[in-house]
Amino acid sequence: MADPIAAISFADPHVDPYGHLGLVWNPDGSVTRQFEHPKTPVSSYDGSPILLVKDVPINQSKNTGARIFLPKEALESFPGRKLPLLIYFHSGGFVIGSVATTGFDDFHRALATEVPFVIVSIEHRLAPEHRLPAAYEDCLEALHWIKNSQDEWLEKYADLSNSFLMGSSSGGNIAYHVGLSASSCVDDLKPLNIKGLILHQAFFGGKKRTESELRALNDKFIPPCVTDVLWELSLPLGADRDHEFSNPVLSIKPGQFDQIKALGWKILMAGYENDALFDRQFQIAKMLEGEGIPVVANFVEGGYHGIDAFEFPKTKVLCEVVKEFIISFVTTA
């Protein structure tokens, strides 16, 4: 098993939470990135018997793009049949990482190998250079790029009528907010037809500590002092952690979820009870259920934040949960 702390951290989070993320805070509010996390080049997939992988640009002026994964076995087993499309948003607290970051790419690789769908992982701009809602805007723009795309792989192999949004940690937050935006412009997104959202260990916050956050005060991986820094760097200037981007439970608007209900979307929420963010995720699940949204809750005992990226047996279980969720839509549609 890989050590998640050794894999991504640089300093004791309780002494220097910025350094723990590989950052130096500057007096003008900017950060200096001390270290570029290792990246997996797309060329590493050359000759793979399992996956076809490529990187494509989306908006070159913003340096956004996507990494596309095609499962060879599924394509060869069902020639001429298009596969469901899973649009994925990576983790990193809105501040670090990319689709090519090795830890994230390893998760992509496992997901694409275990789940027989076309996967498009989206590259978005990072905070604090580009604070929220920049990541939301980039990912919504990516949906429009997909629906207009003349990319050969998407045209030949992806069934846009069976599309799903999935994100891990901050990517789960993105999937939630982009999903809300997408539900209000479904006609503009056709032929892309989103069927559901998958929020995996989603990153939400708030000013008042929850019980799961208090239990994690001495956590060595992602204690609340580190998530506080991520929110400080990513939220709009002057906003606190009760902002709607961080704590949507406090910002429900009348009719906000009417379109999602009308579309028949379901939301899968997956996580672990020992995750410092568990209470936030559970609150979101209960809020959505209270608004009449069908929620499939898959919260497992134990674990920690990011476990599915570091422990392959857990990754395989998550992949099965995701696969069953998506197939239930495709087979009943």
The catalytic site residues sit at 169, 275, 305
User: Beta 51-59 vs 31-33: how paired, if at all?
Assistant: unpaired
Q: Rounded to whole angstroms, what are the CA distances from 103 to 96, 98, 112? A: 12, 10, 14
CA 49 to chain centre: 27
In the chain, % helix, strand, coil (3-state, to 5) comes to: 40, 20, 40
Q: What whole-number distance in Å separates Cα of residue 221 and Cα of residue 201?
A: 15
Structure tokens at 40: 């997996």
Q: What whole-number distance in Å separates Cα of residue 69 and Cα of residue 120?
A: 6
Q: What whole-number distance in Å separates Cα of residue 125 and Cα of residue 134?
A: 7
Q: Rounded to whole angstroms, what are the CA distances from 134 to 19, 126, 330? A: 24, 8, 32
Cβ atoms of 37 and 104 within 8 Å: the answer is no
